[in-house]
Amino acid sequence: MIAHITGKLIQKQPNSVVVDVGGVGYELTVPLSTFYDLGDPGAEVSLRAYTYVREDALQLFGFRTEREKRLFLLMIGVSGIGPKLAITALSGMSAEELIHAIRTENLAKLVGVPGVGKKTAERMLVELKDKVAQLASPEMEEQLKAGAIISIGEAMRDDLISALINLGYQKAAAEKAVSAVMKENPDANFETALKTSLRKMSK
């Protein structure tokens, strides 16, 4: 199994790179965090790799850091999460954000990842909460011990506002709509709250 690749970067695009190692080009699927961290084509790169073997496919996945690779391996161990979805999760959030979301049981943040439904997110929390503790930074552990954690409600509010801004709405208007929705229905999940906020914004 290929576990590490060092060579010349000959091609890169979001979620995919080709590395030349001794005249052989290896294509690796990578998270966006790794993609942005790599240099331009021609640069020397070193990636941690994971070889995924199925009957009909052999895929290589590459990671800039060992932490990203270990988090990826933990995620694909969860029922319902394959390599593609794990890469999507690592592309939508940094490893630090993902670990924090799992450690603080921030279901809304996990459901915000494209392809992650509520049941899958709940399985992630149950199966990975203790396992990701070993990947948490010392700073995060200090924050968790000190109780300096954003409440789930506040975290979801920030995520909703960010989603609306990404859709082209003004920040002030997005904040007003989200505040109103969360006041009316504080127990709403992320998807419901987003849909309700969009309805308010379109009036």
- State the Cα–Cα distance between residues 62 and 47, nearest whole angstrom: 6
**Rounded Cα–Cα distance for residues 141 and 48 (Å):** 25
How many domains does the structure of the chain reveal?
Answer: 3
pTM to 2 decimals?
0.67
Nearest to 38 by CA among 22, 58, 14: 14
What's the pLDDT at 145?
Answer: 59
Q: Do 90 and 142 have their domain in common?
A: yes
Contacts 24+ apart (CB under 8 A), 181-186: 182/153, 182/156, 182/157, 186/153
- Are 72 and 114 in the same domain? yes
Q: pLDDT tens for the chain, 203 residues: list them.
A: 789 999 999 999 988 999 999 999 999 999 988 888 888 999 999 999 999 988 777 899 999 999 999 999 999 999 889 999 999 999 888 888 888 889 888 888 888 888 888 899 999 999 998 898 888 776 766 666 555 444 456 667 788 888 888 888 888 888 888 888 888 887 777 788 888 888 888 76
Q: Are residues 133 and 197 in the same domain?
A: no
CATH of the domain at 32: 2.40.50.140
Residue 173: domain span = 152-202
- Identify the sign of the CA torsion 188, 154, 165, 86: negative
Question: What was the pLDDT predicted at 146?
Answer: 57
In the prediction, which pLDDT does 149 show?
A: 46
* 108 and 74 part of one domain: yes
Q: Which two tokens stand for residue 178?
A: 């989200």
Same structural domain for residues 58 and 70?
no
Question: Coil, strand, or helix at residue 24?
Answer: strand
- H/E segment holding residue 5: strand 4-13
Tell whether 134 and 160 lie within a shared domain. no
Both tokens assigned to 132: 């990701």
**Alpha-helix residue ranges (DSSP H) falling in the chain:** 32-37, 66-75, 83-92, 95-103, 107-111, 118-128, 138-146, 152-166, 171-184, 190-202
Dihedral angle at the C-alpha atoms of 142, 148, 151, 156, nearest 10 degrees?
Answer: -70
Encode pLDDT of 100-144 as tens digits: 889 888 888 888 888 888 899 999 999 998 898 888 776 766 666
Find the distance separating the first CA and the last CA of the chain, reported in whole Å: 56
Q: Assess whether 77 and 55 both reside in one domain.
A: no
CATH of the domain at 164: 1.10.8.10
Last residue of a domain, one of 130, 146, 162: 146
Grouping H, G, I as helix, E, B as strand and the rest as coil, residue 123 is helix
Residue 70 and residue 19 in one domain: no
The whole-angstrom separation of Cα 197 and Cα 93 is 23
Last residue of a domain, one of 102, 130, 146: 146
Do 79 and 15 fall within a single domain?
no
